[in-house]
Amino acid sequence: MNSEDLINLTALEIASGIKAKKFSVPEVAGSYIEEIEKTDKHFNAFLAVAKENAVKRASEIQARIDKGEDISPLAGVPIAVKDNISTEGLETTCASKMLKGYKPVFNAAIIEKLESAGLIIIGKNNMDEFSMGSSGENSAFGVVRNPWNDSRTAGGSSGGSAAAVAIGETPLAIGTDTGGSIRLPCSFCGVTGIKPTYGTVSRYGIAAYASSLDQAGPIAQNIEDCAALLSVISEKPFEYNNALTSNADLKGVKIGLPANFFSYSETAEDVKEKVLTAAKELEAAGAVLEEFEMPLMDYIIPAYCIIGFAEASSNLAKYDGLRFGYRSPNAKTLSEVYRLSRSEGLGMEVKRKIMFGSFVLSADQYDTYYRKAQQVRTLFIDEYKKLFNRFNMILSPVAPTTAYELGKNSGDEQNDQPWNKYLSDIFTASVNLAGLPAAALPCGFDKQGLPIGFQLIGSAFSEKKIIDVGRIYQGLTNHHKLKPKSASYVPLPNLRFEVCEKKNGESS
Ligand code: GLN
């Protein structure tokens, strides 16, 4: 099989091809690395490629498979991980100048799981700096471009991970989701992802943004690959593989549609239409649809921002120029070390969130903002509980729009509209506040040919149900199988360097 065909296979097809000796683990890893080298100068979905290590690991895994060892359902399959996940000896920057050159001395728990399941880590994905952003533009090492239209954003913050899967640079990726960061880029790039129930995947070794909201999860071409990967990384022994073989049907499954998400002023017509069509397909397959009003919609983004940014301000205090990371060469006194290292090492959005978070936690403001937001969070948890007494699942768009132009709502001095970007998480963030699982699945394209995604939200630990419904949907539709045309990729040399220089200038 030639590399062009290899990189079109799904992860489970690759794994079974390896088992059947149709191709070898080193051949597969080689094909993906070749694709990254060919296309990624343009898309910037990778910050590091682990070529040497991947080649070495690939032969080791092949030797074990040849000996007849049954390592895991994904043995030998390449995977890329977001750059906020610690990889021993491999640069882990969180896409920040602050951590440029930082090589962790240990692996995140999730990396250990991937390695013991025989997956081959091929590289680290670009992202919004410290996972802060919704567009993939906040990286200190240049923006991620959307594989379907390179003048658009890939979504964020796991933009590199979703774009890499869409391009065919990797069959699998790991993203993280604090307020929508797995689901949003999946929706913008036309791939499938799962944000698991809070606590399902270990956060050990993942650079924290907001610890009570952060959750890592799988990104792939379809829900079956995501399910297989979730079974590898989950700390809770779920029988996800059953979801792949069970004959689940939709008879009697009650799906709630939040009418106020669909009628929200920013929801694009195409998004509304395609997501409702997806709901209708599930109805035709036996599900029962019912509209409801999502409670507290106006409080989703305020509560998310207060809690998320408050936690961020505390989590990011450790980047002080002393313990590790960037230290300003201009600092002459101790307070200058703190001030200049943080001013020069962190980007605009990160600083904005730290300032906002420090404000809401300050003695004067704590009761007005932080305590209030925590009370609102409890209301979300209670309201979702009530909703899941009525419905088995909730179906909504992932985001109000499709991928927007690069540079729009960028939150820089000339175009200071960060709030617009925060609002792109309005359909996703309450899921994190309540700690629930949700999957994002592609359901078509808008008139400009940009992918649209919908999400299925379930009650805590109902991943198997979500996967069953997603699998039935993808069995009935082809949206997840469509790929952007690689013929139009024109490499732009020095993209990273140019953007990186601009970003550095901006943050000083
Ligand atoms: N866009 C949101 C933020 O910047 C969510 C990011 C995420 O989920 N990591 O806070």
Q: Is 459 a catalytic residue?
A: no
Q: What mean pLDDT do residues 115-139 have? A: 97
Averaged confidence pLDDT in the chain: 92
Give the predicted TM-score (pTM) of the model. Answer: 0.94
The Å distance, Cα 214 to ligand 1 centre, comes to 9
Could you give the CA distance from residue 120 to residue 126 in angstroms, rounded to a whole number? 18
Q: Which of 182, 226, 233, 50 is nearest to 124 (CA)?
A: 50
The pLDDT of residue 324: 79
CA-CA distances (angstroms) from residue 335 to 32, 122, 322, 332, 339?
47, 40, 11, 8, 6
- What are the residue ranges of helices labelled H in 68-222? 109-116, 159-167, 183-189
Could you give the CA distance from residue 58 to residue 120 in angstroms, rounded to a whole number? 6
Q: Is 181 a catalytic residue?
A: yes
Query: Which residue, by CA, sits nearest to atom 5 of ligand 1?
Result: 179
The pLDDT of residue 5: 87
The Å distance, Cα 496 to ligand 1 centre, comes to 22
The pLDDT of residue 500: 39
The pLDDT of residue 504: 38
- Give the tens place of pLDDT for each residue, 352-400: 999 999 999 999 999 999 999 999 999 999 999 999 999 999 999 999 9
- Give the tens place of pLDDT for each residue, 297-353: 999 999 999 999 999 999 999 999 998 789 999 999 999 999 999 999 999 999 999
Could you give the CA distance from residue 441 to residue 480 in angstroms, rounded to a whole number? 8
Measured from the Cβ of residue 404, the count of other Cβ atoms closer than 10 Å reads 21
Structure tokens at 250: 């939709």
Could you give the CA distance from residue 296 to residue 20 in angstroms, rounded to a whole number? 53
Could you give the count of Cα atoms lying within 13 Å of 108 in the half-sphere of its Cβ? 25
In the predicted structure, residue 265 carries a pLDDT above the cut 60? yes
Could you give the count of Cα atoms lying within 13 Å of 197 in the half-sphere of its Cβ? 16
The Å distance, Cα 315 to ligand 1 centre, comes to 15
- What are the residue ranges of helices labelled H in 83-222? 109-116, 159-167, 183-189
Mutate to test the pocket of ligand 1, among 425, 426, 431, 432 (most ligand atoms within 8 A of CB): 425
Spell out where 9-126 has E strands. 46-49, 78-82, 120-125
Could you give the CA distance from residue 422 to residue 403 in angstroms, rounded to a whole number? 14
In the predicted structure, residue 454 carries a pLDDT above the cut 70? yes
Tell me the pLDDT band of 284, cut-offs 50, 70 and 90.
very high
Q: Is 82 a catalytic residue?
A: yes
For residue 304, the ligand 1 atom closest to its alpha carbon is 10
Structure tokens at 220: 């792939």
Paired with 220 in beta bridges are 172, 192
Ligand 1 contacts (CB < 6 A) are: 131-134, 157, 177-181, 209, 308, 425
The Å distance, Cα 77 to ligand 1 centre, comes to 29
Q: What is the DSSP string of 404-450?
A: PBTTTT--SSTT--HHHHHGGGTTTHHHHHTT--EEEEEEEE-TTS-
The pLDDT of residue 210: 98
Q: Which of 157, 410, 430, 459 is an active site residue?
A: 157
